[in-house]
Amino acid sequence: MSAAEWKQKCEAQWGLQGAPMPDAVDWKSVYEAKPLGRNLLKNPAPIGFSKDTPPPEREYPDVPPHGPPRFQPEGDFAGWTTNTEVLPYDTSGIPEGVVVCALPQYSWFTLEQVVDLKAEGLWDELLDKFQPEIVIQDWYEESQVHDYIYQLHVKLLAADKTTVISEHTAKPTENLSVYSHNWKEVSHVFSSYGPGVRFVHFQHRLKNSFLNDFFPTRFTGSSVIVKPLKSSS
């Protein structure tokens, strides 16, 4: 198949009307990479749950396990860079003179990935001139462990992996006065972000608690998807 025919296949696949498609681009490689419309994050559900199934209800043993403290959920985190930050005990709500036998110890579990947009099959002219929508989505569990259990920070980076061209942060607050145990969606669409974007840095943090047993905040369905849609001005 000729280069022109591969280019036509790409046009037909994604309907890129008005998008710059220079002949110098290797359209066969682009077509095979299929960079548009698919999740560019690796291992988007490393803990093994699906947003289409409610998170499992916790089972409480008759006797607490009293094992060593845990601060990280079990899972296969291949493709992610992870970090755990154990927080100091919060004694702010304890009246003076009151003796407390045990306090929950909280920790942040951070996971991040950097997506190389050109390595995934996108090309300079598309990113700089067409600026396709970059859609971020994530789902976290209403774990009830604290008022603040989830944070998202996504940055669009230049070729040096340092210069931030655009960014989005989400730090939702939980309503613990009403019991709810579902997956909560967090999403954002980057558009009209300007030229020069080459990488997407995806980072989220989940708060866990340990008090005689481990109480995690789970997540699933993390995604970074470049849509074949031109940014609205």
Written as tens digits, the pLDDT of the chain (233 aa) is: 888 899 999 988 998 878 899 999 999 999 999 999 999 999 999 999 999 999 988 777 667 666 788 888 889 999 999 999 998 877 677 777 666 677 788 999 999 999 999 999 999 999 999 999 999 999 999 999 999 999 999 999 999 999 999 999 999 999 999 899 999 999 999 999 999 999 999 999 999 998 888 899 999 999 999 998 876 65
Question: Could you tell me the fold of the domain covering 40-58+72-91+101-226?
Answer: Jelly Rolls (2.60.120)
Residue 59 has a pLDDT of 74
SS3 readout for the chain: CCHHHHHHHHHHHHCCCCCCCCCCCCHHHHHHHCCECCECCCCCCCCCCCCCCCCCCCCCCCCCCCCCCCCCCCCCCCCCEEEEEECCCCCCCCCCCCCCCCCCEEEEEEEEEEEECCCCCCCHHHHHHHCEEEEEEEEEECCCCCCCCEEEEEEEECCCCCCEEEEEEECCCCCCCCCCCCEEEEEEEECCCCCCCCEEEEEEEEEEEECCCEECCCEEEEEEEEEEEECCC
Tell me the whole-structure pTM to 2 decimals.
0.91
Residue 232 has a pLDDT of 61
Return the domain boundaries, the chain. Answer: 1-34, 40-58+72-91+101-226
Residue 68 has a pLDDT of 80
